Amino acid sequence: MIETELDRLSDAGIQVAFVNYHAQTIDMHRKSTVLIGEIMGKKERAEEIANFYEEQMNLVTDRIATLDAAAPRPTVYMEFSRGVDTFGNSWADKMWGALIPICGGTNIAAGLSDGNSVDVAPEQVLASNPDVIILAASPQKDIDNNVVLGYGQDAAVAEERLAEYKNRNGWSEINAVKNQRMGALYHDLSRHIFDFAGAQFLAKTIQPELFKDVDPEANLQLFFEKYMPVELNGAWTISLEE
């Protein structure tokens, strides 16, 4: 299918370039960004953006590398927020599931699917008793009790709705709930040139002592001030610890 469409574009004299932020690697983010810069005649600026991204990601990877590789890591459950009554939309080894181990945690859904997402039964979440729970929030406001984050969103409302998840059946006995280790971040803080902020938030939530001096939203703000054509506004991350 792709090859057929490429042939049609080529026959029409249209050049095609591929970028890949879905791979979630520093190298591919860099190559994709620099390629866009070359196409737009802004290679120097693109390299500056790529360097900024790499420096921010290295804040995560360099510190996680100092942990004892043999020591157990905090267990983490991530869920795409669709309201308190909708359970289990998580990630196995891709998307957020791939970032959890990079950020110092153990994903309770690892290995459950070969695809991007996986449904985790409520009973499995209870049995796994995760140390940390993180919701990936969307800007979708038409779902009751949905945790909404991103451009123009209110942190107080998001925190109130995140707290409602603690009232799910059996969740009061989960370590993450008992210890207030629950957070949420805007789902679009993945697979972007500014997704370092999502990685930093995960790392800080999973390994708080190691990242207590890191402020993901401040670093995201700096990126927007330096490189984006719009101002950053709204709440992008929240935590019940705060």
The answer to whether residues 26 and 79 belong to one domain is no
The answer to whether residues 12 and 87 belong to one domain is no
The answer to whether residues 141 and 45 belong to one domain is no
What is the amino acid identity at position 2?
I
Rounded-to-5 percentages of helix, strand, coil across the chain: 45, 10, 45
- Give the CATH number for residue 225: 3.40.50.1980
pLDDT of residue 7: 84
The residue segments making up the domain with residue 103 are 75-239
- Total domain count for the chain? 2
pLDDT of residue 186: 96
pLDDT of residue 141: 74
- CA dist., res. 59 & res. 53, Å (int): 10
The answer to whether residues 27 and 85 belong to one domain is no
pLDDT of residue 88: 86
pLDDT in tens, 119-168: 999 999 999 999 999 999 987 777 778 899 999 999 999 999 999 999 99
- CA dist., res. 68 & res. 66, Å (int): 7
- CA dist., res. 179 & res. 186, Å (int): 22
The answer to whether residues 46 and 93 belong to one domain is no
Structure tokens that stand for 64 in this block: 């996680």
The answer to whether residues 143 and 62 belong to one domain is no
The answer to whether residues 89 and 119 belong to one domain is yes
The answer to whether residues 144 and 180 belong to one domain is yes
* Assessment of whether the complete model's pTM goes beyond 0.85: yes
The answer to whether residues 97 and 56 belong to one domain is no
pLDDT of residue 114: 76
Domain boundary among 44, 66, 88: 66
The answer to whether residues 140 and 230 belong to one domain is yes
pLDDT in tens, 215-228: 999 999 999 999 99
Give the rounded percent of residues in the chain with a pLDDT score beyond 70. 98
The answer to whether residues 199 and 86 belong to one domain is yes
The answer to whether residues 48 and 135 belong to one domain is no
Ranges under pLDDT 50 in the chain: 242
